[in-house]
């Protein structure tokens, strides 16, 4: 299908659903989906945003601004993943527990507002990745219109640009719990350290980045083309000192740079099928 055909199909899918509540994080996918849903359904489209310690305040503020820009009504809920049995222990299928909790709460909001369907922003590219959260979505019958309309991430960015959405070139983002090696316990204090470190690095002008939390060690991943920004002794000292103030003992730069799902590199095929 051409991009124009995919876009037409997406609008038809959403129109047939009649009323929708979208799990809205303010990321590239959910922002695009919310924009199209609002254009098609108007007041029968609702954006639901969950606040938690795994969701940075910076992202939350952006999500509120984006909802206002689109015009869609936004409902904010609280979903504290660290309180969920099985989540804080950080097993390989950690995202299953998180998404099950999230979609259950979005479903409750949908029912309260007389809305028929819960939507998420999964797209065609997500199918080939390790995404335990998709199992939770399937169990709770969450609809994924972007995937059903065969939108890839590049497609979403392209149409987002045409629609004037500021997220069209927004760097990929995943919740802060993805910064921890599987098996390392996640708690609010550790999440706060990661959030502070990433906010600091973004304020320095870095765009695509992750601060992976390995106990006392902070492993910084940045986009390959941004690695050269660290090649200054003064800059390295400044960054190291700041992250030590935040609570890390050792500060490292991953020489391979940022890559999606780097924490999955240690998983066996069997673990990824859980």
User: Is 118 within 8 Å of 143 (Cβ atoms)?
Assistant: yes
Angle value at C-alpha 30, between 27 and 36, nearest 5 degrees? 130
Look at 41 and 85; give whichever has higher pLDDT.
41
β-strands 209-214, 217-222: how paired? antiparallel
Whether the per-residue pLDDT at 90 is higher than 70: the answer is yes
User: Is 62 within 8 Å of 26 (Cβ atoms)?
Assistant: yes
Give the CATH number of domain 176-253: 3.30.300
Instruction: Tell me, yes or no, if 95 is annotated catalytic.
Output: no
Mean pLDDT of the chain: 92
Evaluate the CA torsion angle 47, 110, 156, 72 in order and state its sign.
Answer: negative
State percent of the chain over pLDDT 70.
Answer: 94
Q: How far apart (Å, rounded) are the C-alpha atoms in residues 249 and 124?
A: 40
CA dist 57 → 53, 96, 199 (Å): 9, 23, 10
Tell if the pTM clears 0.75, that is, is over it. yes
Q: How far apart (Å, rounded) are the C-alpha atoms in residues 256 and 118?
A: 38
Tens digit of each residue's pLDDT (9 = 90 or more) over 193-252: 999 999 999 999 999 999 999 999 999 999 999 999 999 999 999 999 999 999 999 999
Tens digit of each residue's pLDDT (9 = 90 or more) over 37-54: 999 999 999 999 999 889
Question: What is the pLDDT averaged over residues 174-194?
Answer: 93
Residue boundaries of the structural domains of the chain: 3-163, 176-253
Whether the per-residue pLDDT at 268 is higher than 80: the answer is no
User: Is 85 within 8 Å of 60 (Cβ atoms)?
Assistant: no
Per mean pLDDT, which range of 64-73, 132-141, 144-153, 238-247 is the poorest? 132-141
Whether the per-residue pLDDT at 270 is higher than 50: the answer is no
Per-residue confidence at 130, pLDDT binned at 50, 70, 90? low
Q: How far apart (Å, rounded) are the C-alpha atoms in residues 216 and 222?
A: 19
- Which pLDDT value is given to residue 98? 86
User: Is 67 within 8 Å of 24 (Cβ atoms)?
Assistant: yes
- Which pLDDT value is given to residue 128? 66
CATH architecture of 3-163: 3-Layer(aba) Sandwich (3.40)
Question: What is the pLDDT averaged over residues 90-102?
Answer: 88
Which 3 state secondary structure label does DSSP give 115? coil
Whether the per-residue pLDDT at 129 is higher than 70: the answer is no
**Which one of the listed residues 175, 191, 209, 251 is annotated catalytic?**
175
And the tokens for 33? 């989906």
227 HSE (CA, 13 A, CB side): 13
């Amino acid at each position: 299908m051409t991009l124009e055909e995919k876009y037409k199909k997406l609008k038809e899918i959403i129109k047939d659903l009649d009323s929708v509540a979208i799990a809205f994080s303010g990321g590239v996918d959910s922002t695009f989906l919310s924009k199209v849903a609002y254009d098609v359904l108007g007041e029968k489209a609702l954006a639901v945003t969950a606040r938690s310690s795994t969701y940075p305040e910076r992202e939350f503020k952006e999500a509120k601004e984006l909802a206002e820009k689109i015009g869609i009504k936004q409902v904010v809920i609280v979903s504290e993943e660290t309180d969920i049995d099985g989540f804080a222990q950080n097993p390989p299928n950690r995202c299953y527990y998180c998404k099950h909790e999230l979609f259950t709460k979005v479903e409750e909001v949908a029912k309260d507002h007389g809305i028929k369907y819960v939507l998420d922003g999964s797209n065609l590219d997500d199918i080939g990745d390790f995404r335990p959260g998709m199992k939770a979505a399937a169990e709770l019958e969450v609809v994924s219109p972007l995937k059903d309309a065969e939108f890839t991430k590049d497609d979403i960015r392209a149409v987002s640009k045409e629609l004037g959405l500021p997220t069209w070139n927004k760097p990929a983002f995943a919740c802060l719990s993805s910064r921890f090696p599987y098996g390392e316990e996640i708690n609010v204090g550790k999440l706060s350290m990661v959030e502070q470190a990433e906010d600091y690095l973004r304020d320095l002008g870095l765009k695509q980045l992750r601060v992976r939390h390995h106990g006392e060690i902070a492993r910084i991943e940045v986009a390959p083309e941004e690695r050269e920004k660290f090649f200054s002794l003064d800059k390295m000292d400044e960054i190291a000192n700041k992250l030590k103030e935040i609570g890390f003992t050792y500060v490292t730069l991953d020489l391979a740079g940022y890559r999606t799902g780097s924490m999955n590199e240690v998983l066996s095929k069997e673990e990824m099928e859980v």
